[in-house]
Every structure is written in C-alpha cells, then in structure tokens.
Amino acid sequence: MLTNASFSHQVSEDIEPADAADGSLLPTNERFMAAAVMSAMSGVNLNEEGGPFGASIVRDGVLICSAHNTFFSDCDPTCHAEMNAIRLAMRRLETHDLSDCVIYSSFEPCPMCWGAIVSSGMKQLYIGLDRFTAAKNGVDYLSFYDAILPHTKGSNFPPMTRVNPPSFYEDKRIISMLSSPDHCIIVNKDNDILANSDSPAIDDFTDPVDTSMVRTIRLACRSINSPYLHGCRIYTLVIQADVESHAACLWACAESLHYCTEASPGSK
C-alpha cells in the first residue's frame, strides 16, 4: 500500500502468474513492470532526454496505458511518466477516479507524482528501483524528498514567502488580482504575467489530476517554450499547497512561491 514515508516493490498474494503452456510468459506483475520499462526505453530511444522513467496503469489485470517522461520534449515540468500515465488513463477510462487501478513505475515516483497517485485514488504501487538504489546508480532525486516530505530534513525548495500585507508595488499589483482560494498567477523577472489560472487558456489543461497551480505552471511553461521557470514568481491564495503542487514548483525551478494569506482589499 502507499505510504507517505517510503514505497516498496510489492507483490500482492492475490495476483497469480499468468498461465502459459510453454512457461515463456513472465509472472503478471513482472509483465506489467516490463511494459513500464519498455515505455521508458522508447523515450530513451527517441532521444527525448527524459531519462529511463516509465509507468503503466492496470485495471482488473488489463493494461490500460503506458507512458514515459516527456519533461523536455513537451516543455512541461509536470510531464513525468507517472503523471502522463495517469492523465492518459483518465482520458481512456473517462473518469478521474482510478481507485480500481494499480500503477507500475520503473523508479520510485517523486513527491509530485506521488501526490498525483494519491489524488487519483490508486492505493497500490509497484516499483522497479527505490529512490536510494536509483541514487546509487546515477538517478538522484533524494533532495526532492528532503524538500517535500515532513519526516526528512533539509530543503532546496524555492523560498516560500508569505506576503501579507504586500511590501512593494509589484506584489500589491499581483495580489490585487487574486480572487479565489485556488487562484494562481505566475510572473517573470520583468513582472509580466506569464499565466493566470483565471485565463480561458487554462482550459487547454483539463486533466482532473492537475491542481490549479499545476495547470498554471504548465501554461506558463508553454508560453515561454521551456520546462523551467527560472526567475519567475508564483502567487497564490492557497494557505498551504498540496504535495503535487509543491513538487511541481520545485521541478519548474521557480524563483519563489508566495502564499498570500489574504487577498488585497482591491481584489474581487
């Protein structure tokens, strides 16, 4: 089962090896894990620079979809293998509830993907390599767990500043535009607005797994054709962002995340 402390490669007792007259088929779990790995390798072979990350989602013993990391090819910091697989599964099954599905991942998911897995309702995760083994083999994202999970120490997360009341003009201008608890605005270093969760353009991102902040990050990255938001600031009225949103900010390399505990008197 999923926990917020660690993941382990689990094998359920109620999943039996597949029947095969010649004994050539892999056991069920290994076959679905192989599908995740093959998807990861397809991304590597296409030179998409997303790394060896793949994921598969299964329901009632049937493979629903597989996906790999398209972080760079899509210029989207949220397009990790697990996120892509969840979005694809939701579209194919026409539901945001994946509680009757399980997910297989070539590597232990990062906190952003972990948050998406929990949000989707899935309660069973199978992994190929845990994050510690992955780090020993050159795939090191341990610092992301240090920055996100409360049971770890240390942080390289973008500085999170509570801005209330605003201390300078540009903050006041942006905060005055925030109108609802999940409203999010992203500005660049020149204080130009790159993305606004109230914008009609946000409708391009309708995946149920995406939070308002995640959708706004995706829109901002698309607007500058880059998976990174270097020098950009994120403003939101959310008192405390969820794990998925927090980690998306980290992957996007935003300069800072501002929690505005109250809207400006000039807001709607």
> Which two structure tokens, joined as six digits, stand for 172?
């006041």
pLDDT digits (tens, 9 = 90+) for 243-260: 788 888 888 988 888 877
| pLDDT in the model for residue 243 | 79
* Residue 258: predicted pLDDT: 82
Domain stops at, among 138, 162, 186: 162
Position 6 in a domain: no
Q: Is residue 151 part of a domain?
A: yes
Q: Return all residues near 33 (Cβ < 8 A) that are at least 6 apart.
A: 56, 104, 106, 126, 128
CB 248 within 8 A of CB 231: no
Residues 183 and 149 in one domain: no
In this structure, is residue 67 part of a structural domain?
A: yes
| DSSP assignment letter at 259 | E
**Per-residue confidence band for 27, with pLDDT thresholds at 50, 70 and 90:** low
Q: Is 82 a residue of the active site? A: yes
What residue numbers bound the domain in which 246 lies?
A: 172-260
- Whether 235 shows a pLDDT value over 60: the answer reads yes
For residue 1, tell me if it sits in a domain.
no
The model carries a pTM of 0.68
Which residue among 16, 48, 82, 244 is the active-site one? 82
CATH code: domain of residue 106: 3.40.140.10
Asked if 250 and 110 touch (Cβ cutoff 8 Å), the reply is no
